[in-house]
A and B are shown apart, each in its own frame.
Chain A
């Protein structure tokens, strides 16, 4: 019988989460590796791990909330921004939000 090939592991990215966000989810960590090839997929992964986290970072437009900044490779990203394997994603509270 032919052996089914193991699926390749999904590429992971390293996500840094803002302190104010982590305070809202008692078991969240400041740095986490999740699978995702876009920022939107990273949001889904965070929400799977900590239910409700996507709602704190994204609104219903859908878009990243106006006073949340997501940086990828030093550039501000949108939900559509693509991510290379091993990319670093910074999820930060913007100064415009207080």
Chain B
């Protein structure tokens, strides 16, 4: 039985940590940490319990923060987080992923990938990605040219997928030396009609892998929701049955590859609120063929809230917990796979990321 469940939050004013036991009924909040820096993604390495936070401050630039005592104390470093003299400076760190053997990956703005083999103290640029011939054509998304999603193959350390707003999904099979775009079947609705399925340039918002099926990926894009069963080589729309084609996060069930969670918003030019001001998480149990809206305990009137790219997650308990944080600073949690929800924190700064850590 799990001893502790932690929910890790990145917000625009620091990192926060919520802690509960396996029942997940009452939560203790601590924070803000990281000197109230904007923290874009706060994760934990499940192998060690180390917490890492990717952020960037207008005064002091980018850094990856680290805590080895579950958030009580923190250090920070950006050593090596640079494209080199004369190149565009890195503005902020946006995404993190723990790899095998203690390796840590970070995605940054302007989009690029770094890795660390010393627990985030020093970083090396994975230059192959920015050497891709498409790079001169990468256009920023509304929030900037950001590498915001990193998905690592669970058993092949040379394989990884990344998502960039707005360059699309790229894959490497050789540890980052070379990359190829994998966007076939995903739309760019903001392009002329005959250019709406380009090889790259899509505004992917979030990418996750299905549990136990490394070839299955789910994607929330600016223009649609998709599933791939061939490692991203081709994507099928799974929007049918959803209230819109727009949203930011997607979360995978910890064990069932057929189950995923989305949080569709009303549209990119309609305010980016939950549709009709009624909050709902949508769950599929059949890999996107059908969807069920889950609303019990969620506000159903005047809820003009949004949820950002990395702000939804599951935990690995059974039944799975599901969590999402809003741009209005509320955190909602379900301990029963989404059937019912509670608001477990509110009045926080804008929540940019939600991740979990279960400690046995």
Binding site for B on A (CB under 8 A): 20-21, 23-24, 52, 55-57, 59-62, 65, 67-68, 93-94, 96-98
Q: B6 interface residue, CB < 8 Å from A?
A: no
Are B35 and A24 touching (Cβ within 8 A)? yes
Most buried by A among B61, B76, B77, B82: B61
Are A65 and B78 touching (Cβ within 8 A)? no
C-alpha spacing A62/B89, complex, angstroms: 9
Q: With a CB–CB cut-off of 8 A, which chain B residues contact A68?
A: 59-60
Are A60 and B78 touching (Cβ within 8 A)? no
C-alpha spacing A56/B83, complex, angstroms: 16
- B24-68 CB contact bits vs A (8 Å, 1 = yes)? 000000000001000000000000000000000111110100000
C-alpha spacing A56/B81, complex, angstroms: 12
Are B60 and A65 touching (Cβ within 8 A)? yes
Please, which residue of chain A has its CB at the minimum distance from the CB of B60? Answer: A56
- B68-84 CB contact bits vs A (8 Å, 1 = yes)? 00000000111101111
Task: Report how many residues on chain B are interfacial, defined by Cβ distance under 8 Å.
Answer: 20
C-alpha spacing A20/B58, complex, angstroms: 12
Q: With a CB–CB cut-off of 8 A, which chain B residues contact A56?
A: 59-61, 63
C-alpha spacing A55/B62, complex, angstroms: 9
Could you list 8 examples of A-B contacts with CB < 8 Å? A52-B79, A57-B60, A60-B86, A60-B90, A61-B86, A61-B89, A65-B59, A96-B58
| A24-B76, A52-B77, A52-B79 given; A94·B59 CB < 8 A | yes
C-alpha spacing A55/B58, complex, angstroms: 13
| A24-B76, A60-B87 given; A97·B35 CB < 8 A | no
Besides A56-B63, A65-B61, A67-B59, 10 more A-B contacts (Cβ < 8 Å) are: A20-B60, A24-B76, A55-B81, A59-B90, A60-B87, A62-B85, A67-B58, A94-B59, A96-B58, A97-B57
Please, which residue of chain A has its CB at the minimum distance from the CB of B73? Answer: A26
C-alpha spacing A61/B87, complex, angstroms: 6
Are A59 and B59 touching (Cβ within 8 A)? no
Binding site for A on B (CB under 8 A): 35, 57-61, 63, 76-79, 81-87, 89-90
Are B83 and A24 touching (Cβ within 8 A)? no
Are A59 and B58 touching (Cβ within 8 A)? no
Q: With a CB–CB cut-off of 8 A, which chain B residues contact A57?
A: 60
C-alpha spacing A61/B88, complex, angstroms: 7
Q: With a CB–CB cut-off of 8 A, which chain B residues contact A61?
A: 85-86, 89
Min CB–CB distance A6 → chain B (angstroms) = 35
List 10 A-B pairs, minimum CB-CB distance, nearest first.
A59-B89, A97-B58, A60-B82, A97-B59, A56-B60, A93-B59, A55-B78, A60-B89, A67-B59, A67-B58
Q: With a CB–CB cut-off of 8 A, which chain A residues contact B85?
A: 60-62
C-alpha spacing A20/B37, complex, angstroms: 11
Are B58 and A60 touching (Cβ within 8 A)? no
Q: With a CB–CB cut-off of 8 A, which chain A residues contact B58?
A: 67, 96-98
Are B83 and A60 touching (Cβ within 8 A)? yes
Q: With a CB–CB cut-off of 8 A, which chain A residues contact B89?
A: 59-61
Min CB–CB distance A21 → chain B (angstroms) = 7
Most buried by B among A23, A52, A94: A52
Min CB–CB distance B224 → chain A (angstroms) = 35
C-alpha spacing A68/B60, complex, angstroms: 8
C-alpha spacing A55/B83, complex, angstroms: 13
Please, which residue of chain A has its CB at the minimum distance from the CB of B76? Answer: A24
| A21-B60, A61-B89, A65-B60 given; A52·B78 CB < 8 A | yes
Are B84 and A60 touching (Cβ within 8 A)? yes
Are B79 and A55 touching (Cβ within 8 A)? yes
Min CB–CB distance A24 → chain B (angstroms) = 6
Are B60 and A24 touching (Cβ within 8 A)? yes
Q: With a CB–CB cut-off of 8 A, which chain B residues contact A23?
A: 35
Please, which residue of chain A has its CB at the minimum distance from the CB of B78? Answer: A55
Q: With a CB–CB cut-off of 8 A, which chain A residues contact B86?
A: 60-61
Please, which residue of chain B has its CB at the minimum distance from the CB of A61? Answer: B89
Min CB–CB distance B101 → chain A (angstroms) = 25
